[in-house]
Amino acid sequence: MNHRPRYQVPRPTLTAALALALAACEAVPNAQPVLPGSPESQLVRQALADWPQPSPGAALRRPFFVDIHAAGFRATATGILEYHGPRDFRITAIADGGGILFDGRVNWAGVLILRQMPGLDTNALEALLADLSRAFDPPAELRGLKAGDQKMALARRLGDDRDYTWIFDRGDGRLLEATVTQGLDTLQVDYRGYSSRGWPQELHVTHWTRQYEATFSFTNDAVVRNAADK
């Protein structure tokens, strides 16, 4: 007769859990688990509650400057982000010379590049918009949050089979950085400031395996109704 344990943690799941725990510990030394109702957890919840959340039928229309390096191409531009949510937005950037640098859309169907400047790599642009979608999407819940002396960390594997690590400021709960990995592929997002509304003011996005680096500086926060409602 074969005697088998009633329950056994599958090796890939255990390995992934250990990897995530190590990632959180490396990002925030001396990190210790915090309870869901702790002051540290409440700080993060309050900061995330201020995150951009457009009302139905409205959009956040945010002007920006961008400095982008993509597959050997470098350009600066101004543009508009029309934001309905992390998986529903359009972003248009106009180069210094007045032409379209890129114009892209993210929605339920994925990423679509509508227009782009000749010489700008399509694959890098598609990766950039997909990564912005991840950058705009903070964690939905804080189970597993750990706090160190100055920062807090949350590590989790999501349904896209990528490992996410979010780092928060222990003083005000603001999101400072996010790292998304899948094998050797790594996306790094640095949140370099926030507006008076609590919205990200500057994002530095780096994804070397996709051959791009970009810094977005948002210059205003405005809410507008859809054109059809005007």
Look at residue 6 and tell me whether its pLDDT is greater than 60.
Answer: no
Would 211 be classed as within a structural domain?
yes
Token code pair at residue 102? 């890129």
Distance separating alpha carbons of residues 167 and 52, to the nearest angstrom: 19
**pLDDT at residue 9, rounded to an integer:** 29
pLDDT band at 10 (very low <50, low <70, confident <90, very high): very low
| Helix, coil or strand: residue 45 | helix
Would 186 be classed as within a structural domain?
yes
Distance separating alpha carbons of residues 128 and 61, to the nearest angstrom: 19
Domain that holds residue 165: 11-229
Residue 18 CB partners (closer than 8 Å, separation 6+): none
**pLDDT at residue 225, rounded to an integer:** 54
**pLDDT at residue 20, rounded to an integer:** 45
pLDDT per residue as tens digits for the range 138-176: 998 999 999 998 999 999 998 889 999 999 999 999 999
Distance separating alpha carbons of residues 228 and 57, to the nearest angstrom: 9
Look at residue 92 and tell me whether its pLDDT is greater than 60.
Answer: yes
- CATH of residue 110's domain is 2.50.20.10
pTM over 0.95: no
**pLDDT at residue 8, rounded to an integer:** 31
Longest Cα–Cα distance of the chain, Å, equals 78
Would 165 be classed as within a structural domain?
yes
Would 6 be classed as within a structural domain?
no
**pLDDT at residue 7, rounded to an integer:** 27
Between 199 and 8, the higher pLDDT residue: 199
Helix (H) / strand (E) containing 64? strand 58-70
Look at residue 13 and tell me whether its pLDDT is greater than 60.
Answer: no
**pLDDT at residue 102, rounded to an integer:** 95
Would 101 be classed as within a structural domain?
yes
Would 55 be classed as within a structural domain?
yes
**pLDDT at residue 96, rounded to an integer:** 86
Q: Are strands 88-95 and 100-107 parallel, antiparallel or unpaired?
A: antiparallel
Domain count for the chain: 1
Token code pair at residue 67? 């400095």
pLDDT per residue as tens digits for the range 177-223: 999 999 999 999 999 999 988 999 999 999 989 889 999 999 877 76
pLDDT per residue as tens digits for the range 30-71: 889 998 889 999 999 999 999 988 888 788 999 999 999 987
pLDDT per residue as tens digits for the range 118-145: 888 888 899 999 999 999 999 989 999 9
Residue 68 CB partners (closer than 8 Å, separation 6+): 74, 75, 76, 77, 93, 101, 128, 212, 213, 214, 215
